A and B are shown apart, each in its own frame.
Chain A
Amino acid sequence: MKNNLEHSEAAAIFNKDVKRVDWHDETLWFVREKRDKAAHQIPEWELLRETASQIKNNVLSNIHDYLVEFESNALKNGIIVHWAANADEHNKIVHSIMEKHGVNQMVKSKSMLTEECHLNEYLSEKGIDVIDSDLGERIVQLRKEPPSHIVLPAIHLKKEDVSETFHEHLGTEKGNNDPQYLTEAARLHLRDTFLTRKVALTGVNFAIAETGEIVVCTNEGNADMGAHLADVHIACMGFEKIIPQRKHLSVFLRLLARSATGQPITTFSSHFKKPRDGKEIHIVIVDNGRSNQLGREDFRNSLKCIRCGACMNTCPVYRRSGGHSYHNAVAGPIGSILAPNLDMSKNADLPFASTLCGSCTNVCPVKIDIHDQLYKWRQVLVKEGHSPLGKTIAMNGMATVLANPMVFDLAGKAGRFVMKNMPALVNNSLNPWYKQREMPAPPEESFREWYKKNGKESKAKNNE
């Protein structure tokens, strides 16, 4: 995400290839449809969402004590617990574990947190070789790109793209685009990685306060292949991943995969409680701005997120702009309410990359009020001065016109006059509306002019 383009600019470029944007949009809409099908097979789906939402509300209101409880239980189980205030500390901790064991190779399974912390780059600079084992992540890693979607990292790529990449890096047949063939090639290539690496790093889907265990969900089995063969398993989590009790997993595991891809559950839902004999499990609990977000009353609920990606799949803007245009590890609607907290100035454009349609809020399994938060972030960003001056001037002008009936009337008349008699002033390339749309036809009179002549009061007058 080293581009300096605002979302609107990146999106405009994305839309130049109409066939590709249609394909990207249809592919993700299909995932949304699969989610709908799964949700409709559970009559109590909405009750499940409400329950999950309430569990997460409770978590946020008691997160301090849950974290202390979690740590205490994890320690009792022989797990080593670290705390990282920010991305830099997180990266240092991971590196120090590797150094302590004298290892300079790592196999990773999917962790959006480590994307957020730019861990791969950090370790690479320190001479550590990191291989991403999730197929989608491996593909983008070979292409030196960030993932574009938190669940489907390579959704922006066609099989021809993958084929090219694998031909270049794995020596597969040129032009062979068969997904089965390509996946088999990746399976063989990564199997060797699993068998030889002594340190495996995974993310954490859920951390259970009651028992000190962590849960990692995958379809590929890569987290397990890494962790069960390595001497050291490092699991990184944002502190908001905590849930109170084991039984709460019943709610989240019923919602997670159905919301993400329409599957009833991921192939593997692995519960790690104790390390294998003689081996180590490290958990790194990360803040990196989360405690800040926790203190923002209007935006705190964004921390309920279980990273399912349903909001991205349903978002008509995300589907037509692609994850990279959000220049943030987490893109789409949820990314747009998390990112401004991390860096307001860099991410001021994101809450505006939305029509506030509300679809995201209604697919969210934990009922985050995403579109309401997008609206509220807009107010905050403008107040904090992250709005271009031209926009502020225009808005102030608009406010004056719209607050004053006479000025409004005059402005309306003037606008219609210009559109009617000097259309070229409006219908030109300086008018962004006009680029691909006709302007509305200016009517002879406004409604209020008509009403003055024909409305109730004037009719009564005329009858006097």
Chain B
Amino acid sequence: MSSRASILEKIKENQPASVTELPILSTLGLEAFDVLEKYKTVLQGIGGDFVEVKDYDSVIDFVKKNYATNKRMITTIPALAEIAETDWFNDDPHTLENVELTLVEAHFGVAENSALWVTDALLGQRVAPFITQYLAIIVHKKDIVATMHQAYDRIRNQEYGFGTFIAGPSKTADIEQSLVLGAHGARGLIVFLME
């Protein structure tokens, strides 16, 4: 008998006699609060930053002012072609090793933890938001939801090969509980909250 068969057989034998019911989730995540304000507060609390912008031109201005534009920048957003490369999707991911700033868009954000949902459709390459030294994500203010319950409601049956919630820059506190930003992923995250 294969391990698969023997494991499943043992499980069937040993699991409880009857199936208990799944609980409902509809009573969760109903607390009312200022979603945008909370998003901003939480994001800063976890080491991220935000800038409120009205359009992509404002994003371009900000980036030119605050980042080393002589270093390599990549984006999946055609409107940002002026400051970043747009045709790296089919490159070997290892070649993104020298990227200084990655600019992508998110499907939506979650106020309670400031996380942003991105999938491979928006990432160009899966490694793009991780391999970069700095990360910038654009999200529309109307696309901020309150909690993870609304988030998964929105995701529902979305098709993707890969998706991730990104909340703040990468970090670790593994050395005597001292928080250090920039472990293996991005050292800093800026969120452009667009009108």
Contacts and interface: CB of A to CB of B under 8 A. Distances in A.
Interface of A: 27, 30-31, 43-44, 47-48, 50-51, 54-55, 57-58, 60-64, 67-68, 77, 83-85, 89, 133-136, 139, 152-155, 157-159, 162, 179-180, 182-184, 186-187, 190-191, 194-195, 219-222, 224-225, 227-229, 239, 244, 246-251, 253-254, 261, 263-276, 285, 287, 291-292, 294-295, 297, 300
A291 B10 contact: yes
A58 B184 contact: no
Given A264-B113, A287-B10, A222 B184 contact: yes
12 contacts: A54-B21, A60-B15, A139-B174, A139-B175, A186-B183, A219-B173, A224-B164, A239-B7, A250-B25, A250-B147, A273-B161, A285-B7
A135 B149 CA distance: 31
B11 A63 contact: yes
Contacts of B25: 51, 247-248, 250-251
User: Which of B4, B6, B27, B172 is the most central at the interface, judged by chain A CB atoms within 10 Å of its CB?
Assistant: B172
B100 to A, nearest CB: 14
A271 B21 contact: no
Contacts of A246: 152, 155-156
Chain B's interface size range is 35 or more
Contacts, number: 239
A43 to B, nearest CB: 6
B169 interface: yes
B154 to A, nearest CB: 11
A61 B16 contact: yes
A60 B22 CA distance: 11
A449 to B, nearest CB: 53
B94 to A, nearest CB: 6
B23 A253 contact: no
Interface stretch (B49-57, B67-75, B79-87, B123-131): B123-131
A270 B164 contact: yes
A155 to B, nearest CB: 8
A295 B29 contact: no
A9 to B, nearest CB: 27
A229 B94 contact: yes
A228 B127 contact: yes
Contacts of A190: 184
Nearest to B42: A264
B4 A83 contact: yes
Interface in B21-54: 21-23, 25, 27-29, 31, 42, 46
B152 A60 contact: no
A277 to B, nearest CB: 9
A266 B167 contact: yes
Interface in B147-187: 147-149, 151-153, 155-156, 160-178, 180, 182-186
Contacts of B19: 58, 61-62
B29 A250 contact: yes
Given A27-B177, A84-B3, A220 B20 contact: no
Contacts of B14: 291-292, 294-295
B178 A220 contact: no
B78 interface: no
Given A30-B177, A187-B183, A264-B112, A247 B152 contact: yes
A76 B10 CA distance: 25
Given A61-B15, A190-B184, A264 B160 contact: no
Nearest to A294: B14
B10 A225 contact: no
A77 B160 CA distance: 10
Interface string B100-129: 000000000000111100000000011100
A194 B185 CA distance: 11
A54 B19 CA distance: 11
Nearest to B128: A228
Contact of A135 (B3, B97, B131, B172): B172
Nearest first, the 3 closest Cβ-Cβ pairs linking A and B are A221-B185, A295-B14, A264-B113
B97 A195 contact: yes
B2 interface: yes
Contact of B184 (A68, A139, A194, A266): A194
A267 B171 contact: yes
A222 B170 CA distance: 9
B11 A263 contact: no
B177 A162 contact: no
B28 A47 contact: yes
